[in-house]
Amino acid sequence: MIVQLDSTSISFPPTATALHEPNGLLAVGGDLSPGRLIHAYQQGIFPWFSEEDPILWWSPNPRAVFFPDKLHISRSLAKTNKKPNWQVTINNHFAEVVHACANQRVDNEGTWITEEMIEAYCKLHKLGHAHSVEVWFDNKLVGGLYGVSVGRAFCGESMFHQKTDASKVALLRFAKHFELNGGQLIDCQVGNPHLFSLGAINLQRERFLMKLNIAQQQPMPDTFWQPHEIISSGEL
């Protein structure tokens, strides 16, 4: 039975009650207010729905994650990453990254990043909870990713690339920078062959929630999410 969320409360049912099929569907309804979204991510829950659907909330089992120090870096990616033309920044152009992710999904497979979602995550960004990583090549924005911070965990939402391997460079440099500053866990929600090839692993939901709870006991350093250029290829 799917729980219909109460519009007057931001509480969610226990994640253990999520459906097995479709995997992780927990609740329906509510809204995308900052308070509800923050509360959801703190519990390992995220929204995912199409334009024609009501708001759907998920907590899949297993959960795909990256440990920042365990990424798989192929020889070709390592070579690509060392090109001097790349520049990677944090929180310089959040809205542009989200729109680019939405446009790429429309072009390839249809998008769940609706205008309602874009507005909600831009609000989260202004409140200091949602963040972007931008990849520039010859001073042109060619890739990036965005997600939500929960202490020393980062819950990735989507990525895009307009140049081969740009999103991989975003993930690679962000993960190393995140690790060096105390980051513990990168959530990528549901795994796929591409993510697993980069080093993602599946965790059972209980173990994921335990690690998420530990990670959110401490914040990242105050300066980490301030707009800046992050790690260079020479530091990897």
CATH number at residue 37: 3.30.70.3550
The pLDDT value recorded for residue 64 is 98
Q: Are residues 52 and 68 in the same domain?
A: no
Strand ordering across the sheet containing 140-150: 201-203, 63-66, 185-189, 153-161, 140-150, 130-137, 86-90, 228-229
Q: Are residues 57 and 68 in the same domain?
A: no
CA distances (Å), origin 111, targets 65, 103, 104, 114, 230: 22, 8, 8, 7, 29
Q: Are residues 124 and 175 in the same domain?
A: yes
CA distance 27 to 148: 20
Query: 5: how many CB neighbours lie within 10 A of its CB?
Result: 21
Read off the CATH number of the domain in which 159 is found.
3.40.630.70
Q: Are residues 231 and 133 in the same domain?
A: yes
**Nearest in space to 68 (alpha carbons), one of 179, 189, 198, 221:** 179
Q: Are residues 125 and 150 in the same domain?
A: yes
Q: Which of 28, 45, 61 is the last residue of a domain?
A: 61
Q: Are residues 27 and 143 in the same domain?
A: no
pLDDT in tens, the chain (236 residues): 789 998 889 999 999 999 999 999 999 999 999 999 999 999 999 999 988 899 999 999 999 999 999 999 999 999 988 888 899 999 999 999 999 999 975 545 545 799 999 999 999 999 999 999 999 999 999 999 999 999 999 999 999 999 999 999 999 999 999 999 999 999 999 999 999 999 999 999 999 999 999 999 999 998 999 999 986 544 55
Tokens of 142: 């060619």
Q: Are residues 56 and 124 in the same domain?
A: no
Q: Are residues 196 and 80 in the same domain?
A: yes
Q: Are residues 99 and 191 in the same domain?
A: yes
String of DSSP letters for 192-216:
-HHHHHTT-EEE-HHHHHHHHHHHT
Instruction: Quote the pTM value.
Output: 0.94
Q: Are residues 84 and 17 in the same domain?
A: no
Q: Are residues 43 and 156 in the same domain?
A: no
Q: Which of 17, 41, 61 is the last residue of a domain?
A: 61
Full residue range of the structural domain in which residue 192 is found? 64-235
Query: 190: how many CB neighbours lie within 10 A of its CB?
Result: 16
Domains: count for the chain = 2
Q: Which of 61, 77, 94 is the last residue of a domain?
A: 61
Tokens of 196: 């697993």
**Nearest in space to 96 (alpha carbons), one of 50, 59, 133:** 133
Q: Are residues 144 and 208 in the same domain?
A: yes
Query: 123: how many CB neighbours lie within 10 A of its CB?
Result: 15
